[in-house]
């Protein structure tokens, strides 16, 4: 077994998760998030979701942070409505920005966004949001409905789930890892995920994943079929005025890890393919993965040059008036499946947690 250090990775370890949870708890129970409100609440929040589906019992669920249950999301929606926040579409947020209506003194807004176009968006999130008349945005990587997508984080999960030992080439050296128990599997997933995310190019990452999929007979294409909406299903969703369809590149690539012309065509092509398939031209974009290693100033500039009204990252933060100058570098607040408690949602939406994580800096577009 090689160490984290040799792999050069920064996995989200149990310890780090505990610290995050501890911070949210402290803020909640000290009621500090109420006192901090005037300084940190901002004008609104864009929420990030991925899967919305009933819980599963498997012991090895390394991607669980990417899913919340329909009932948790419904609790959040009810609470947001009760609290008097405006649940609005991204177009409405953009209108408020352009008309100078986004400011700290006004009623706060919330935009709900769901990345990747999983079928559970249609099966679970949509009926609930429709019931409450809540607008939302779904960001589509077009290779997913085209059934050519590589959901590499799930391929990695699949390889580890079905194996007692995993071998792969790391720096041209064959390395082997034991993963018989659920604990070993979780540990190995974190190590390899960190290693893959640390690779310099998207191409290297895909090469490792295809190699693993081949060795352990995991069918990469099957994930799209099983989990992602078809164009027909997307057509149904897009027909509802509550739904905004946004672009999320073609191949779900970390844009900062590809050449500029590829980054540009990934954004441009995804918009063109969605327009051709659904008859709506996306005005909003979400950067895949969306952290600073996958979207930075170059991507923010390209998205603006291509005429996207807004583009969202996964950098944590709420929306301030100052973001009017950075509409293609917007932060979001993720509803994390590991923290499905209303008290965490309250602290996150209050802006207090993200303000502390960001050292009280309002805009991070560098």
Q: Which residues bind Zn ion (CB under 5 A)?
A: 115-116, 288
| Residue found by looking up tokens 């370890």 in the block | 13
Task: Please identify, using beta-carbon distances, which residue of 288 and 317 lies nearer to Zn ion.
Answer: 288
Task: Please identify, using beta-carbon distances, which residue of 118 and 300 lies nearer to Zn ion.
Answer: 118
Paired tokens of 278:
């659904």
Task: Please identify, using beta-carbon distances, which residue of 48 and 163 lies nearer to Zn ion.
Answer: 48
| Residue found by looking up tokens 């034991």 in the block | 178
Task: Please identify, using beta-carbon distances, which residue of 218 and 289 lies nearer to Zn ion.
Answer: 289
Shortest distance, position 307 Cβ to Zn ion, whole Å: 22
CB atoms within 10 A of CB 171: 7
Shortest distance, position 115 Cβ to Zn ion, whole Å: 4
The three-class DSSP label of residue 364 is coil
Paired tokens of 270:
């995804």
Task: Please identify, using beta-carbon distances, which residue of 66 and 166 lies nearer to Zn ion.
Answer: 66
Shortest distance, position 137 Cβ to Zn ion, whole Å: 13
Task: Please identify, using beta-carbon distances, which residue of 180 and 221 lies nearer to Zn ion.
Answer: 221
DSSP letter assigned to residue 228: B
Cα separation of 66 and 46, whole Å?
16
Paired tokens of 22:
């501890």
In angstroms, the Cα distances linking 78 to 89, 131, 277 are 17, 11, 34
Shortest distance, position 141 Cβ to Zn ion, whole Å: 6
Task: Please identify, using beta-carbon distances, which residue of 115 and 120 lies nearer to Zn ion.
Answer: 115
Cα separation of 139 and 141, whole Å?
7
CA dihedral 300, 302, 304, 307 (to 10 degrees): -150
Shortest distance, position 121 Cβ to Zn ion, whole Å: 12
The three-class DSSP label of residue 310 is strand
Task: Name the percent of the chain in helix, strand, coil, to the closest 5.
Answer: 50, 15, 35
* Residue of minimal Cβ distance to Zn ion: 115
Shortest distance, position 250 Cβ to Zn ion, whole Å: 12
Task: Please identify, using beta-carbon distances, which residue of 149 and 317 lies nearer to Zn ion.
Answer: 149
Shortest distance, position 252 Cβ to Zn ion, whole Å: 6
Shortest distance, position 168 Cβ to Zn ion, whole Å: 24
Task: Please identify, using beta-carbon distances, which residue of 43 and 295 lies nearer to Zn ion.
Answer: 295
Cα separation of 107 and 91, whole Å?
17
Cα separation of 257 and 354, whole Å?
26
Shortest distance, position 27 Cβ to Zn ion, whole Å: 28
The three-class DSSP label of residue 47 is strand
Cα separation of 92 and 18, whole Å?
37
Instruction: Give the closest residue to 97 by CA, choosing from 60, 155, 43, 135.
Output: 43
Pairing outcome for strands 173-178 and 165-170: antiparallel
Alpha helices in 69-118 (DSSP H): 70-82, 90-98
């Amino acid at each position: 077994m090689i160490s984290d250090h040799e792999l050069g990775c920064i996995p989200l370890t149990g310890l780090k998760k505990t610290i995050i949870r501890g911070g949210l708890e402290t803020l909640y129970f000290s009621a500090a998030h109420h006192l901090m409100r005037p300084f940190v609440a901002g004008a609104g929040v864009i929420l990030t979701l991925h899967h919305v589906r009933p819980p599963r019992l498997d012991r090895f669920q390394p991607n669980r942070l990417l899913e919340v249950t329909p009932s948790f999301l419904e609790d959040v929606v009810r609470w947001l409505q009760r609290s008097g926040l405006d649940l609005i579409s991204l177009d409405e947020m953009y209108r408020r920005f352009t008309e100078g209506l986004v400011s700290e003194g006004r009623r706060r807004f919330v935009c709900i966004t769901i990345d990747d176009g999983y079928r559970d968006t249609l099966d679970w999130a949509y009926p609930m949001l429709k019931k409450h008349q809540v607008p939302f945005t779904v960001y589509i990587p077009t290779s997913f409905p085209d059934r050519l997508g590589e959901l590499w984080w799930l391929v990695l999960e699949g390889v580890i789930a079905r194996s007692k030992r995993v071998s792969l080439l790391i720096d041209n050296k064959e390395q082997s890892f034991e993963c018989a128990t659920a604990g070993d599997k979780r540990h190995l997933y974190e190590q390899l995920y960190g290693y893959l995310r640390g690779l310099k190019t998207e191409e290297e990452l895909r090469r490792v994943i295809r190699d693993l999929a081949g060795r352990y007979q995991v069918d990469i294409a099957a994930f799209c079929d099983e989990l992602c909406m078809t164009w027909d299903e997307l057509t149904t969703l897009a027909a509802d005025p509550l739904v905004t369809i946004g672009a999320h590149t073609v191949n779900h690539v970390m844009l900062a890890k590809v050449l500029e012309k590829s980054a540009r065509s990934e954004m441009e092509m995804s918009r063109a393919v969605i327009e051709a398939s659904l008859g709506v031209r996306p005005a909003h974009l979400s950067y895949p993965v969306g952290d600073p290693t996958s979207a930075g100033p170059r991507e923010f500039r390209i998205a603006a040059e291509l005429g996207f009204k807004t583009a969202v990252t996964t950098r944590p933060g709420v929306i301030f008036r100052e973001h009017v100058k950075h509409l293609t570098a917007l932060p979001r607040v993720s509803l994390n499946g590991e923290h499905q408690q209303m008290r965490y949602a309250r602290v996150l939406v209050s802006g207090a947690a993200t303000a502390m994580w960001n050292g009280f800096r309002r805009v991070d577009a560098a």
